[in-house]
Amino acid sequence: MSFDVHAHVIVPEITGDEDWQPRVWRGDSGQVVELGGKQIRAAIQEFVDIEGILAAQDEAGVDRVLLSPWVPLLFYDADPDEGLRRARIQNEALAGLVGERVAALGAVPLQDPELAARELVDVMGALSGVEVAASVRGVYLGDDRFEPFWAAAEETGALVFIHPTTRGFDSPAFQDYYLWNTVGNPLETAATAAHMVMAGVMERHPGLRVLLAHGGGALLAVRGRLRRAHGFQPQAKSRLRGSPEDSIRRFYFDTLTHDDELLRALIDFAGADHVLLGSDYPFDMGDARQVDTVRSLRLAPDVEAAILGGNAERLLARKEIAR
């Protein structure tokens, strides 16, 4: 059994003519998504129609898929009440997709953490958790203002999927050579995860189930520097009692590294029970053969089975118990 936990969807209920709603169409050069007057062509596979999405998963050898919103549709720039309204439209539509092959993560207005916490509790009857961006209006997720949300996530057993905002750094260099994606996205994931670690979020909430996109980005590459700083930096020492590596190992990671050696190192460090199959469907930086990627590592059969789908099934089953 295989279970892809990193796949995005734009539910058809929010494709329309209002300013905040994306438009999706097929042009001569392929699928086009337009949001806020900007056209995006990075989604190279079906983005809206669930039958088309499942057909692509069939081709990749995937049995089940965990769908989450396209990150710009989290709408953190909106007024919190308006953000909640937009989130609920998506959440209701996502819940309607849930079935034997499909699970889903919803959206919450994290610009108001207490409101987001209440919405998280409400959606857990139909969804498996929520997707959140790496920062909210420039504030990273270890900030104390998000404590009500993390408390609710731990209490409900929700799976919280952290994805880069895709616009975390404004240096002109990131606009060259696709670096905003290839370098900026992994850095943003590492920054927010490290912020959570050093602020003690993962230590205070040992029951949190947080999944990091793109193999955790650059997080593992900086673990030694975090360990070093924790040994002498006053703020870090005051907020985190244990080691940074203990907290890093509490995260879950998807397999999307585009590098076999990195993926093996991730499995060795985090443990096979904390690595889950992920493709970043339907984007050009995704892995359309995600099952083959894991199988090519020739892992022990029980390890391969856990990564391909067993870990995801276990996490979602725990969600049912928590609820």
Whether residue 65 contacts residue 4, with contact meaning beta carbons closer than 8 Å, is answered with: yes
**Domain span including residue 153:** 3-322
**Is residue 322 pLDDT above 50, yes or no?**
no
**Is residue 19 pLDDT above 90, yes or no?**
no
Model confidence at 30, in pLDDT bands (50, 70, 90)?
Answer: confident
Determine the pLDDT at residue 89. Answer: 96
**Is residue 168 pLDDT above 90, yes or no?**
no
For residue range 203-253, list pLDDT tens digits in order. 999 999 999 999 999 999 999 999 999 999 999 999 999 999 999 999 999
Model confidence at 137, in pLDDT bands (50, 70, 90)?
Answer: very high
Q: Which of 164, 172, 170 is nearest to 190 (CA)?
A: 164
Share of the chain above pLDDT 70, in %: 98
| Domains contained in the chain, number | 1
Backbone angles phi, psi at 27, to 5 degrees: -100, -170
**Is residue 52 pLDDT above 80, yes or no?**
yes
**Is residue 264 pLDDT above 80, yes or no?**
yes
CATH number of the domain where residue 271 is located = 3.20.20.140
Model confidence at 50, in pLDDT bands (50, 70, 90)?
Answer: very high
Could you report how far apart the first and last alpha carbons of the chain are, in Å? 25
Q: Give the 3-state secondary structure of the chain.
A: CCEEEEEEECCHHHCCCCCCCCEEEEECCEEEEEECCEEECCECCCCCCHHHHHHHHHHHCCCEEEEEECHHHHCCCCCHHHHHHHHHHHHHHHHHHCCCCEEECECCCCCCHHHHHHHHHHHCCCCCEEEEECEECCEECCCHHHHHHHHHHHHHCCEEEEECCCCCCCCHHHHCCCHHHHHHHHHHHHHHHHHHHHCCHHHHCCCCEEEECHHHCCCHHHHHHHHHHHCCCHHHHHHCCCCHHHHHCCCEEECCCCCHHHHHHHHHHHCHHHEECCCCECECCCCCCHHHHHHCCCCCHHHHHHHHHHHHHHHHHHHHHHC
